[in-house]
């Protein structure tokens, strides 16, 4: 194989394709991000200005603080249970949870009730989370789980920021003969991965929402079965045990045709199939499908609203003014710039959405 290290992820994928034939985009993405030895998230901490991307909690402490207060408020609306699992899906470096816990200390009964559970598959990131959160949690360290299923039964508050965009998507393409799945093959002559269409007959049409089925040839539809499974499971658990989930991610409010799979390395776009395992792969979250899946599990859904509107409703401007009072001129400029990045429509304010799922007995979700 030209230009590829056979021992790494590209070699693994190439061998997998040799055995199985072309694989789905979801299989490619799942291995690229989560392969136990070579996956992008498994091998290194990719966050920050020196890494590949920056997420909202890494931009400013205000993001996690406001979410911490949202959790404390929601816990109170749940009837202040003696114990609640405070769960984060895909906590990255643990920054959001650290800031959330600090702010939530304003409601000591909530801090006493909260047991922190982290759903994280990356050992490297689990270590980062341990370093950051151990001092804040003292004799009640967080518990880690590979999946939501590991979190014990009981009332729960779940936070997921930029978790769902990392779950593997399937891609479908409309051709002159109807819908078909896009697969990934290896081109032995060119020495590179390439997209091909699945020619085998299958029930693909049934997987496309009715409103999109008649889209013109060339249209692409992306579905994320893993995201729908997690949303459904959240719906079932919230309905059975009480609580709420807050999902923040970039994406569209209702299902739509369009190709959004992208690869980012060092803050720049790179070709999606090139050098798997060395770039972040994400796709826009279909909030319409997430909400449907959560409702089918029994939850009530609120929103999605935009991240800008949500953070403004929770008081980001007031928190920024408070921080500015004790800040140097440089720090004040950083605070202003962070607020702009988080809520302005030209930055993250509109593209990022916030969806809340609650126990069906809850009468609302703060900020939405
Ligand atoms: C883009 S990062 C977001 C991190 C963090 N929430 C933040 O806002 O900075 C995605 C996170 O999800 C984790 N992750 C990705 N796929 C996962 C999966 N299938 N199960 C559990 N965690 C996963 C990654 O290791 C990482 O911690």
Give DSSP secondary structure letters for 76-141. Answer: HHTT--S-EEEEEES-TTSHHHHHHHHHHTTSHHHHHHEEEEEE---HHHHHHHHHHHHHHHTTS-
Residue 4 scores a pLDDT above 70: no
115-143 average pLDDT score: 93
219-225 average pLDDT score: 97
Strand-strand pairing, 243-252 and 170-175: unpaired
Is residue 51 lining ligand 1, measured as CB closer than 6 Å?
no
Residue 2 scores a pLDDT above 80: no
227: CA distance to ligand 1 center in Å?
Answer: 13
How much of the chain exceeds pLDDT 90, in percent?
90
Mutation probe of ligand 1 site: the residue of 41, 49, 341 with most atoms within 8 A of C-beta: 41
pLDDT at 3 (0 to 100): 44
pLDDT at 100 (0 to 100): 98
203: CA distance to ligand 1 center in Å?
Answer: 31
Our CA dihedral for 43, 45, 46, 47, rounded to 10 degrees, sits at 160
Q: What are the tens digits of pLDDT across the range 33-56?
A: 999 999 999 988 888 888 898 999
Distance CA 56, CA 60 (A): 7
Q: Which residue has the higher pLDDT, 274 or 202?
A: 274
162: CA distance to ligand 1 center in Å?
Answer: 7
Contact 25, 196 (CB under 8 A): no
């Amino acid at each position: 194989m030209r230009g590829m290290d056979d021992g790494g992820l590209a070699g693994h994928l190439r061998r997998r394709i040799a055995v199985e034939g072309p694989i789905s985009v979801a299989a490619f993405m799942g291995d690229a991000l989560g392969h136990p030895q070579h996956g992008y998230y498994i091998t290194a901490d990719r966050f920050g200005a020196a890494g590949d991307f920056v997420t909202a909690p890494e931009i400013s402490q205000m993001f996690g603080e406001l979410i911490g207060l949202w959790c404390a408020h929601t816990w109170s609306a749940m009837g202040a249970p003696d114990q609640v699992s405070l769960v984060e899906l895909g906590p990255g470096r643990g920054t959001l949870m650290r800031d959330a816990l600090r702010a939530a200390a304003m409601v000591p009964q909530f801090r006493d009730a909260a047991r922190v559970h982290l759903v994280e598959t990356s050992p490297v990131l689990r270590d980062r989370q341990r370093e950051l959160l151990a001092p804040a949690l003292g004799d009640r360290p967080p518990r880690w789980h590979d999946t939501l299923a590991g979190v014990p039964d009981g009332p729960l508050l779940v936070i997921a920021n930029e978790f769902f965009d990392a779950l593997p998507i399937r891609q479908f393409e409309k051709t002159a003969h109807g819908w078909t799945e896009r697969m990934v093959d290896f081109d032995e002559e060119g020495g590179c991965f390439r997209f091909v269409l699945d020619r085998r007959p299958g029930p693909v049409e049934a997987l496309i929402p009715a409103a999109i089925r008649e889209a013109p040839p060339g249209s692409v539809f992306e579905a994320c079965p893993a995201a729908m499974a997690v949303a459904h499971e959240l719906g079932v658990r919230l309905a059975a045990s009480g609580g709420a989930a807050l999902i923040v991610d970039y994406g569209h409010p209702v299902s739509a045709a369009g190709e959004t799979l992208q690869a980012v390395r060092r803050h720049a776009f790179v070709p999606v199939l090139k050098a798997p395992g060395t770039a972040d792969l994400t796709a826009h979250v279909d909030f319409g499908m997430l909400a449907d899946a959560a409702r089918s599990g029994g939850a009530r859904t609120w929103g999605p609203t935009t991240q800008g509107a949500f953070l403004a409703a929770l008081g980001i401007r007031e928190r920024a003014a408070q921080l500015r009072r004790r800040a140097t001129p440089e720090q004040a400029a950083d605070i202003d710039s962070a607020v702009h990045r988080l809520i302005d429509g030209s930055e993250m304010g509109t593209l990022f959405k916030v969806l809340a799922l609650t126990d069906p007995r809850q009468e609302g979700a703060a900020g939405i």
